[in-house]
Amino acid sequence: MVRLHITVSGVVQGVGFRYFTQMKAVQYHITGWVRNSTDGEVEIVAVGDKDNVDQFIKSLRQGNPFSKVTDININELADTEPFHSFKIRY
């Protein structure tokens, strides 16, 4: 099981990126959450099998048609609270 903290930079707020992220997380059986950061980035905690998380990150790099991802920062987490689904946090 892989646990990652991901920050996505670029044009990612106000363009449906959080909903896109949630859709991809469900598609790849990822649990965790996504939220907008005050600095214009999108912050994600993703938990899942390595192959699924890799596919999820690949999707994030491409983004949705309205976003423009310029950078992704990925850090491993030692442990996280248990998640049963993938939520959008406000």
Which residues are tagged catalytic?
A: 18, 36
- What is d(CA 79, CA 3) in angstroms, rounded to the nearest whole number? 7
**Nearest by Cα to 88 from 21, 3, 12, 6:** 21
The two three-digit tokens of residue 11, written as one number? 């044009």
